[in-house]
Amino acid sequence: MTPVILSGGSGTRLWPLSRGQYPKQFLPLVSEHTMVQETMLRLSGLNGLKNPIAVCNENHRFIMAEQLWEIGIKPAVIILEPVGKNTAPAVAMAALSAESEDEVLLVLPADHVIVNIESFHIAIAQAELLAKQGCLVTFGIVPTLPETGYGYIMKDSVQQGSAYKVAAFVEKPDLATAKNYVKSGDYLWNSGMFAFTAGNFLKELEKFSPEILLACKQALDTAKTDMDFTRLDKAIFSTCPANSIDYAVMEKTDKAVVIPLDAGWNDVGSWSALWDVTDKDAFGNAISGDVLTVDTKNSYIYAEDKLVTVIGVDNLVVVETKDAVMISPIDRVQEVKQIVDQLKQLNRREAQVHRKSYRPWGHFDSVDNGDRHQTKRIVVKPGAKLSLQKHHHRAEHWVVVKGTALVTRGDEQILLTENESTYIPLGTVHRLENPGVIPLEIVEIQSGSYLGEDDIVRFGDNYGRI
C-alpha cells in the first residue's frame, strides 16, 4: 500500500500562523512534529507500506521534502502543482505515478489530527481488503455533534464487510439539518480520506471525468524530473478542470463504500477546532508561549514572539506572531478568512508570508526596515549555499554572528568567522555558503533605493530556482 499525501491547502482559517507560503500542514500545531509529519508518523506499524507519493504546491516543494527527510521518510516522488486544481487531479496524478494499477493508494490530507491510532490502523486494514476487491473506499467519521462545517456521507443499509454502500454525499448542512443527521445515525462526516487501487480509480475517473484524466496524462507526459520532484507543465496543467474527488468520481460511481471511523479525528480547520484538540489548564485555556492570564477561561492564547497578557475574558482566541495579532470570539473564528481576503485585496505581504521566511538553504527574519534600509538575521544550514546572484538596487553588509561563512564577492572568495564582516557593493556578483557543520548565522544590513526580494539576478542555483 502506498500513502498519498495531499498537501495543497492554504489554511487561511488559521491565519496569522498559517499563511500562503507556509500553511498549517507544515506547522507543529498539536505536537512537536508538524502536521504533515504526523500524517506519516501515525502510519508507523502498518505492514507492507511503501514510500509515499506527495502532491503539493510548487512553492512548498523544499518544505515538504525537508520535513519528510527530518523524520526519515524518503518519498517515492513529490508531484508539484503549478496551480491548485482541487483533489481529483491531485489524486489522478498520484494514481498515474503508482508502480502498478494494482497498487492500493491510501489517500490522506496532510493536515488532520487522529488520536486513536489503533482504531485508525484497523480501519486502514479493512479498507485495503475492500480496495483489492474493487471498491472505492472512503472513511466516514462517526459524528460527535451536529457540525455544520463538514460535508456528510449517508450510508446505505447494505453492508459490505465492515463498510456500507454509500447512499449519498451531502453538502454542509444548516444546524437543524445537522441535528437530524446525527440523530438518525445514518450519516457520517466526510473526512476526505480514501483507499482504492490506482487502476480502479483511474477507470472510474475516465468514465465520469475523462477531461481531468486526459489533462493529467498530458501534464505528466510533459513533466520534468528534478531531484525528487516531478514538475508539471503549468500551461498544460492549467487546462485541467478543477474538481474535488467527491464531485468527479465518488458521487457518481457505484463502487463507493464508506467505513465508519471513530478515532478522535479532527481536521483542525479553525482556531476553535485547534482549541478542541489542545491540552488545557484547569480553567479551560489552551496556552502556548509566554502567556500570563488573570480571570480568563475557555480561551486559546498563542504567543510566538512577545509576552501576551490576558485579563477577564472568556471564549476568546488571541494569536500573536512577529508581525500580526489576531483576536476573535471563539464562535466567530470562521470569519478570519474575511481578514485574509482583505489582506489580499490590499496586497499585504502578511497574507502570504511570515516575517520569518523559509528557503531551501535555511531561513531569514526581517528584524527591521525603513525607506532605504533593511536588517535581516540569516541562518544557513550546514553545507548549504545561496544562489550566485547580484542586485541592481541595493548593497549589503554581512556580519557573522555564529559559524563560518564562505563568501564569493566578484572574483574573490573570503572565509569569515564569528565577529568578522564584509561589504557587497551594489551590482557585485556574490554568494554566501556554509562550509561548516553547524548552522551559519549572519546579520545582513541592506541599503539602497529598492529592497524587494525580486531584486535578484541569479547566475547559478543548487535548487532549480530561476
| pLDDT band of 359, cuts 50, 70, 90 | confident
Claim to verify: residue 288 and residue 262 sit in the same structural domain = no
Worst-scoring range by mean pLDDT, 61-65, 250-254, 344-348? 61-65
Res. 465: pLDDT tops 80: no
Give the rounded distance of the alpha carbon of 147 from its chain centre. Answer: 24
Helix axes 210-221, 198-208, angle to 10 degrees: 120
> How many of the other CB atoms lie within 10 Å of CB of 27?
18
CATH number of the domain at 174, please. Answer: 3.90.550.10
| pLDDT(148) > 90 | no
Cell of 311: 485579563
Give yes or no for residue 464 having a pLDDT over 80: no
* pLDDT tens-digit series, residues 9-31: 878 899 999 998 899 999 999 99
Q: Which helix (H) or strand (E) holds 438?
A: none
Tell whether 298 and 406 lie within a shared domain. Answer: no
Q: What is the CATH number of the domain that holds 365?
A: 2.60.120.10
**Residue 96 has what pLDDT?**
97
Dmax (CA) of the chain: 76
> Using one digit for the tens of pLDDT, what is the confidence trace for 389-448?
999 999 999 999 999 999 999 999 999 999 999 999 999 999 999 999 999 999 999 999
Which tens digit of pLDDT belongs to each residue from 187-223? 999 999 999 999 999 999 999 999 999 999 999 999 9
pLDDT at 262: 95
pLDDT at 336: 95
Q: Cα angle at 111 between 74 and 316, to 5 degrees?
A: 145
Candidate from 47-61, 235-249, 353-367 with smallest mean pLDDT: 353-367
In terms of domains, do 191 and 306 share one?
A: no
Q: Compute the average pLDDT of residues 140-156.
A: 92
Is there a single domain that holds both residue 88 and residue 149?
yes
Band (pLDDT 50/70/90 cuts) for residue 279 is: very high
For residues 343 and 347, give the distance between their C-alpha atoms in angstroms, rounded to a whole number: 6
268: which residues sit within 8 A by CB, 6+ positions away? 14, 24, 29, 30, 35, 111, 112, 113, 274, 277
Residue 121 domain-assigned? yes
Reported as a pLDDT band with limits 50, 70 and 90, residue 59 is confident
- Alpha carbon of residue 420 to chain centroid: 38
Q: What is the pTM of this model?
A: 0.88
Q: Is residue 246 part of a domain?
A: yes
Residue 49 burial by Cβ neighbours in a 10 Å radius (0-12, 13-18, 19+): middle
Average pLDDT over residues 285-294: 97
Number of Cβ within 10 Å of residue 74's Cβ equals: 10
CB contact set of 424 (below 8 Å; sequence gap of 6+): 395, 396, 397, 398, 409, 430
466 pLDDT above the threshold of 80: no
Pair (259, 288) in one structural domain: no
* Residue 191: domain span: 2-266
Q: To which H or E segment does residue 327 belong?
A: strand 325-329
* Same domain flag for 188 and 318: no
Whether 164 and 201 map to the same domain: the answer is yes
Omega before 16 cis (within 30°)? yes
Beta strand ranges found along 47-174 (DSSP E): 53-57, 77-81, 104-109, 113-114, 136-141, 152-160, 163-170
Which of 205, 239, 266 corresponds to the end of one domain?
Answer: 266
* Residues paired with residue 397 on neighbouring β-strands, in sequence order: 423, 445
Tell me if 387 is assigned to some domain. yes
Domains of the chain: total: 3
